[in-house]
Structure 1
Amino acid sequence: MKILIVEDEPQMLENMRQSLEKEHYNVEAVSNFKSALERIGVYNYDCILLDIGLPDGNGLELLKQLKKMNKTGGVIIVSAKDSLDDRLNGLDLGADDYLPKPFHMAELHARVKAVMRRRNFEGNKIVEIGNVLINLESRSVQIEGEEIVFNRKEYDILMYLITNKTRLVTKAALAEHVWGDHIDQADSFDFIYSQMKNLRKKLENATINVEAVYGVGYKLQIS
C-alpha cells in the first residue's frame, strides 16, 4: 500500500520512512506544505501521515484540500500538538485518527493497518475472495487451502486490484501506485508485464483472474 509522510522534522521523517518501508509499504515523503499539496494533487495514497505544524502552512488546510479533491485515502494526523481542539478539528475535517508525538513505531504501524483495514476491508484482517484467502497481517495468500508464495510486487499488484475490484485499473495508475513516483523515469511498462505474467500464473487455480484490457490496463474478474 502507498503512504505519504508529511513531516518537517528530518530525523522523524526518516525514522518513519525506514520503519514503514521495512513493513513493505511504498513510502513517499515531503517536508513542507507546498510539496504535500503538489503530491496530493497528482497522486493517490492509501494513507497520509500528516503533521499539523509545517513551516509554510497548516496541515489542517491540507485536509480541506483533500476533501475538495474527493480523495478517498486515509489520513492519520501525527503531531506534537495534542490539544482537544486540534484533535476535534482534524477529525471534523476528515482525518481517521490522531497520533500525538512522541510515539513508538509499533503503534504507528498498528494505526496505519487499522485505517487501511477500515477503509478497504471493513476492518477485517482476513480477506476472502472466491477461493483465495489473504492474511493482511502476514501478507500470505492461500488458494484452496494451499499457500502460494508471491513476491512483494506481485502481492502489491494483487491487493491493488482487489481494492479496486469494481474498476478498470490503467497501467499508469497501477505502475504509479505500486512502484511510486519514480515511475515517471521509466521508458515503458515492460516491467509490469513480467510481474503480471507471474501473478496470473500463480492464480491459475483461483476463482479470480486478471483480465487484460488491450491498450488500457487490467481488471479483476471473479468467477
Structure 2
Amino acid sequence: MTKVLIVDDEPEIRALVKRIITREGFECEEAGDTASAQALIQSTRFDVILLDVNLPDGNGMEIAKLPELQSDTCGVIFVTGQADPIDRVIGLELGADDYVTKPFESRELAARIKIVARRVASLKDALGAATRRGSPGTDGAPTVRLGDMVLDTKHRQIRFADGGLETLNHSEMELLGIFLESPDLPVDRQAIMERLYGDNPPAFDRSVDIRISRLRKKLRDDPASPSLLLTVRNKGYRLAVQPEAVV
C-alpha cells in the first residue's frame, strides 16, 4: 500500500489532506513540525511526502534536503501557502516532484498525489528491472560511457575522468533515462512532461527546464554553454553523445 506523510503545522489542513488521501486508499501518517517529520522519515519508508514550507521549528525545504529524500524512491510535493514563483523554483530545484499552493482544490491535490505515487511505483519497478537487466537504450548494459564520464545505472552514480563521483537521485536518473533511450535525437518538453508527470503536469510550466538545469549541474555540463545536454530551439533538448556500453 502507498504510504504518504503529511507535514503541516495546521491540524485542520492535516485532517483535510488525510481525508483526501485515505479516500484514495493510501496509508497516511502526520507530522506537525520538522522534528517529528524527520523522526518518521528516518524510521519509515514513505512513497510520497507532502511538505509545508513554514513550520514552527524550521523550514520544510530543509526537510527536502534530507538524504533519505534524495537517495530513496520517494516523491515530494510541497503543499504550502508560499505562492511566490521564487519559492516554486527553489522547491523544484531541491528535487520536489510538484508544488501545490493553498488553498487547493481537493480533487486536484488527489490527482497530483496519485501521479507522483504512480511515478514512484513505476520507478521502483524500473529500477528493479534495471538491476536485473541493465538500463534501457544501452543494450542492457548497467554501465554506460557518456563522453569522458561513466554512468553506473544500477547505483545511479557518475564517475568523471578526474576520479570525481556524483550520485543522481531517482528523478534525475529517470530524466537522464529518457535521453538514453533516444541519444542525439531531440526530445520535446511536452514529451518529457508526459513521461515524468502523466496527464496532469504541474501548473508551473518551467519545471522541465529546472530539472534539466539541475541534471546539467550533476553532469558538470556548463549551463551557459552545455556540451552534453543541448537545448534545441523550438524543439526541446537532446543528448549530444552516443552512450556506449562498458563491458
TM-score by length of 2: 0.48
* CA contact 2:78–2:100 (8 Å) conserved in 1: yes
5+ long unaligned stretches in structure 2: 132-247
2:65 aligns with 64
* CA contact 2:34–2:59 (8 Å) conserved in 1: yes
- In the TM superposition, 1:117-196 aligns within 5 A as 117-121=118-122
* CA contact 1:8–1:54 (8 Å) conserved in 2: yes
2:13 aligns with 12
2:52 aligns with 51
**Greater fraction of residues in strand:** 1
TM-score by length of 1: 0.53
Superposition RMSD in Å = 2.2
Structure 1 residue 111 corresponds to structure 2 residue 112: yes
Report runs of 4+ in structure 1 exceeding 6 Å deviation: none
Query: What letter corresponds to residue 114 of structure 1 in structure 2?
Result: I
Instruction: State the 1:71 CA deviation.
Output: 2.4
2:84 aligns with 83
Instruction: Go from structure 1 to structure 2 and tell me whether the alpha carbon gap of 1:67 and 1:36 turns closer, same or farther (over 3 Å shift).
Output: same
1:176 aligns with none
* CA contact 2:41–2:68 (8 Å) conserved in 1: no
2:30 aligns with 29
Instruction: State the 1:69 CA deviation.
Output: 5.9
Instruction: State the 1:115 CA deviation.
Output: 1.1
For 1:28 and 1:164, how far apart are their aligned partners in 2?
A: 26
For 2:113 and 2:120, how far apart are their aligned partners in 1?
A: 11
Instruction: State the 1:41 CA deviation.
Output: 1.1
SS in 1 for 2:65: helix
* CA contact 1:7–1:54 (8 Å) conserved in 2: yes
* CA contact 2:42–2:68 (8 Å) conserved in 1: no
Instruction: State the 1:117 CA deviation.
Output: 2.1
Query: What letter corresponds to residue 15 of structure 1 in structure 2?
Result: L
Instruction: Go from structure 1 to structure 2 and tell me whether the alpha carbon gap of 1:68 and 1:6 turns closer, same or farther (over 3 Å shift).
Output: closer
Instruction: State the 1:118 CA deviation.
Output: 2.3
For 1:74 and 1:32, how far apart are their aligned partners in 2?
A: 19
Percent identical among aligned pairs is: 40
For 2:54 and 2:17, how far apart are their aligned partners in 1?
A: 17
5+ long unaligned stretches in structure 1: 123-159, 168-223
For 2:121 and 2:69, how far apart are their aligned partners in 1?
A: 21
2:95 aligns with 94
* CA contact 1:77–1:99 (8 Å) conserved in 2: yes
Instruction: State the 1:105 CA deviation.
Output: 1.2
* CA contact 1:67–1:94 (8 Å) conserved in 2: no
* CA contact 2:33–2:55 (8 Å) conserved in 1: yes
